[in-house]
Structure 1
Amino acid sequence: MGMARLPYPIAYNFFTKDYQKRVSYNKYLQSFAGIGHINLVKMNRLPDENGIVPYFVELESIEGSSKGVTYFAYYYGYVQLKKVQNMYKIDQMKLYGEDFLCAAYHLWQHDAEAVVGIMYGEWCKLIKKQLPTKQEGYVKTIDYIGTDGADYRFIFYQLTNDTDVLISQYKKDSEGNWESIRIDPYKCVKN
C-alpha cells in the first residue's frame, strides 16, 4: 500500500532462479491480492541443513473481505535461504494460515506438553521422565530423559493464537552436545 506495485518486482528478485521457475511472477503477484499491509511478527533462524538457511516466520496481514470490512489474518511458516554467489536468496517459502476458532478450544495437538507426552511418550514409548517446561517469550523448551537413558530436547514456538508449533528436536550426544534429530511419531503408531 502506498507504493502501488513498485516493491513486488524488487522483492521477486530476492528469489533464486530455481524458485522463480517454481513460482511465476504472476502467481507471486496474485498471492498478495486483497492484502493491504503485512507485518513481520516473529522471525527466528533455525539450524542450517545441507547448505540451506531456514527461518521460522509469523506474519500479520490486514486483508479485505467480500463483506466490505478489513480483518487481521495471521500466517506462520518457513523461509529457506540459499547462498547464490555472494548473497543469500529465498529458495522456498511455506506459509500456513492460523486458525483462531479451533485454536481457542485447544485440542491437545495445540499444546506442547501434550504433544510431547502423547506423541513421544504414549505413542513412541520414548519418555522415562519429562522435565518441567521452560518458556522464554514465545519459545518453549521441553526436555525429557528417554527410555534409552539419553537426554532429549523439543523446542516449540507459541503462535499469536496460542498454538504451539514443534520447531526442532535434539538428542544429547556422548560429548554433551545437542544433535539435531527427527523422530516421526506417526511411524510409532503404524508399528
Structure 2
Amino acid sequence: MTVVHFFSVLREAENLLPGKMGGCGTVGMAKEPFPIAYQFLSKDFHTKLSYNDFLKLFEGIGHINLLKLIPISDDQLFYEIETIEGSDKPITYFGYYYGFIKTVKDSEGFKIEEITRIGEDFLCAAYHGWAHDAKTNVDVRYGEWCHLIKQRYPMVKKEFIKYFRFLGNDDQYYMIVFVELTNGTNMEIGQFVWKDGKWAKIHFKPEDCLSRNQMSSCFS
C-alpha cells in the first residue's frame, strides 16, 4: 500500500520542461505533490537522493498512471507505469517504464528504499527476438545454456503474469516468473526453487553457464 499511495500522489504531479510542454494551462496539481511523494522514501534513500535529484527523475512528465504492481518477495515489487510527456510539437506523447522497488520498515512504517526505472522501446519490441518471448527465453537460457531442464510443465498465465515450472536435472523444482509489458515484451521478474514446502526466491545467472559450462556456477 505504501507504493500504491506513492504513485497515487505522483499521478497529478507535473514537471514539464520549458519548450516541451503540453496541456491547456496548469497540468494537474503542478509540482505540489512532489514534496509529499519524497516523504515516502526512507531516510537512507534521502541521503543518496536529494529532493532536487528526485525532482529531476520526473523531468518532462506531466502525468503518471500505475499500470502494474507485482510483489516478488517480502521487500521487493515490480512495477510498470504509463506517463504523458510534453514535446516541442503541439502534441504530447505516452511513455512506458518498468522497474523494481525495494521497501524497508522503520519506526514510521514501510518506506521506499530503492527504485529502478527502465524505459520501454516500442520499435524494438515490434520485432521480437527470442529473449522477448518467455517460453523461448526459458528454453534457451535455462535449457540450452545451463542444461538444467529435465522436464518442463505447461505455462500458467494469470492476466499479464506467466509462470514456468520445470524439474531440474538436479531433481529440484524451479519456477521462473515473467510479466508481459505494455510493449509486448516478456520480462523475467523472479526465480524460485521449491524448498521446505514453499517457493523460495533465488538469484540465478544463466549467463554464467555460457562461459563456465557448469550448472552449479549459475547460482549466486
Q: Which residue number in structure 1 is paired with residue 57 of structure 2?
A: 31
RMSD of aligned alpha carbons: 1.3
Q: Relative to structure 2, which stretch is displaced further, 145-154 or 34-43?
A: 145-154
Letter in 1 for 2:84: I
Q: Which amino acid in the other structure matches residue 99 of structure 1?
A: D
Q: Give me the whole-angstrom Cα distance separating, in 2, the residues matched to 1:151 and 1:46.
A: 18
Shift of 1:23: 1.2
1:46-125 equivalence runs, <5 A: 46-48=72-74, 53-125=75-147
TM-score when normalising by structure 1 = 0.92
Secondary structure of the 1:76 match is strand
Runs of 4+ residues over 3 Å off in structure 1: none
> Whole-Å Cα distance in 2 between the matches of residues 176 and 21 of structure 1?
40
Deviations 1:93-131 (A, max 9, x none): 001001111111111111111111000100000011222
Which TM-score applies when normalising by structure 2? 0.81
Q: List gaps (5 residues or longer) in structure 2.
A: 1-26, 213-220
CA distance in 2, matches of 1:54, 1:177: 18
Matching residue of 2:33? 7
- Partner residue in 1 for 2:211: 190
- 2:192 is aligned with 1:170: yes
Percent identity, please. 45
Rounded Cα–Cα distance in structure 1 between residues aligned with 2:198 and 2:106: 31
Instruction: Give the counterpart letter for 1:109 in structure 2.
Output: A
- 1:44 correspondence with 2:43: no
1:61-81: CA deviations, max 9, x gaps? 000123342110000011111
Of residues 168, 171, 175, the one that matches 1:149 is: 171
- Measured after TM superposition, the shift of residue 86 of structure 1 is 3.4
Residue 149 of structure 2 aligns with an amino acid whose one-letter code is I
